Amino acid sequence: MPAAARTDSKSEKQIEAQLLDHIRVLASDDFGGREPGTDGEAKTLRYIGRQLFDMGLVSGTNQPANPWYSPVKLVAREPAGSVARFSRRGRVLPFDQDQALLLTSGRRSLVQGAPLYFVGRGNVVPPRAELAGRVALLLDDQGGLGAREAPYGPDASLRQNALLAGGAAAVVTVLDGQRTLNGVAERRRRQGYALASEALGGDMEGFLSPEGLEQALAGVPDNLASLRREADKPDFAPHLLDVSASFEATTRETTIRTHNLIGRIPGRKPGAGAVLLLAHWDHFGQCASPPAEHLICNGAVDNASGVAALLEVSRRLMKVPGGMERDVIVLFTTGEEIGLLGAEAFAENPPLPLKNIVAAFNIDSVAIAPAGTPVGIVGRGMTVLDTGIATVAREQKRKLSMSDEPNRYIRRQDGWALMSHDLPAVMATSAYGDLGRLEKYFDSDYHRPQDVVKPGLELGGAAEDVAFHVALVQYFADTKRFPATVVTGTR
Q: Is the pLDDT of residue 181 over 50?
A: yes
pLDDT at 106: 81
The lowest-confidence range among 68-77, 201-210, 213-222 is 201-210
Residue 292, pLDDT score: 87
For the cut 70, the answer to whether the pLDDT of residue 448 exceeds it is yes
pLDDT at position 290: 87
What's residue 178's pLDDT? 86
Question: Helix, strand or coil for residue 257?
Answer: strand
Name the helix (H) or strand (E) containing 261. strand 239-265
Chain segment 387-426, per-residue pLDDT in tens: 999 999 999 999 999 999 999 999 999 999 999 999 999 9
- Say what the pLDDT of residue 454 is: 95
Residue 147 has pLDDT above 90, yes or no: no
The residue ranking higher by pLDDT, 206 or 141, is 206
Residue 438 phi/psi, 5-degree rounding, is -65, -45
Residue range 352-365: mean pLDDT, rounded? 97
pLDDT of residue 157 exceeding 50: yes
> In the 8-state DSSP scheme, what is residue 136?
E
pLDDT at residue number 269:
94
pLDDT at 199: 59
Is the pLDDT assigned to residue 489 strictly greater than 50?
Answer: no
Q: Is the pLDDT of residue 5 over 80?
A: no
Residue 144 has pLDDT above 70, yes or no: no
Q: How many CB atoms lie within 10 A of CB 156?
A: 21
Decide: helix, strand or coil at residue 291.
Answer: coil
Q: What is the mean pLDDT of residues 250-261?
A: 93
pTM: 0.80
pLDDT, average across residues 467-474: 98
By mean pLDDT, which of 15-24, 189-198, 213-222, 282-291 is the weakest?
189-198
| Mean pLDDT of the chain, nearest integer | 91
With bands split at pLDDT 50, 70 and 90, how would you rate the model's confidence at 298? very high
Express as a percent the part of the chain with pLDDT over 70. Answer: 92
Which pLDDT score, from 0 to 100, does residue 206 have? 95
Q: What average pLDDT does the segment 351-355 reach? A: 96
The pLDDT assigned to 200 comes to 57
Average pLDDT value for residue range 43-72: 96
Residue 146 has pLDDT above 50, yes or no: no
Segment 454-471 mean pLDDT: 97
Kindly list the distances between the CA atom of residue 444 and the CA atoms of 24, 28, 433, 438, 452, in Å, as whole numbers in the listed order: 20, 20, 19, 10, 12
Distance set, CA 379 to CA 15, 107, 362, 411 (Å): 26, 36, 11, 10
Q: Which of 267, 482, 468, 464 is nearest to 388 (CA)?
A: 482
**What is the predicted pLDDT for the residue at 186?**
80
User: CA torsion angle for 98, 104, 105, 108 (degrees, to 10)?
Assistant: -120
* Whether residue 148 has pLDDT greater than 50: no
Domains annotated for the chain, with CATH where assigned, are 9-74+257-486 (3.40.630.10), 76-253 (3.50.30)
Q: What's residue 107's pLDDT?
A: 83
Burial class (CB in 10 A: 0-12, 13-18, 19+), 415: buried
What pLDDT is attached to residue 145? Answer: 37
Residue 3 confidence (pLDDT) above 60: no
The band of 490, judged by pLDDT with boundaries at 50, 70 and 90, is: very low
Q: Please give the share of the chain, as a percent, with pLDDT higher than 90.
A: 79
Q: Which amino acid is at 190?
A: R
Tens of pLDDT, residue by residue over 306-339, are 999 999 999 999 999 999 999 999 999 999 999 9
Provide the strand spans (E) within 89-208: 91-92, 100-104, 108-118, 135-139, 170-174, 193-195, 204-208
| Gyration radius of the chain's alpha carbons | 25
What is the C-alpha to C-alpha distance for residues 118 and 115, in angstroms, rounded to an integer?
Answer: 10
Flag whether pLDDT at 214 surpasses 70.
yes
d(CA 13, CA 85) in angstroms, rounded, equals 63
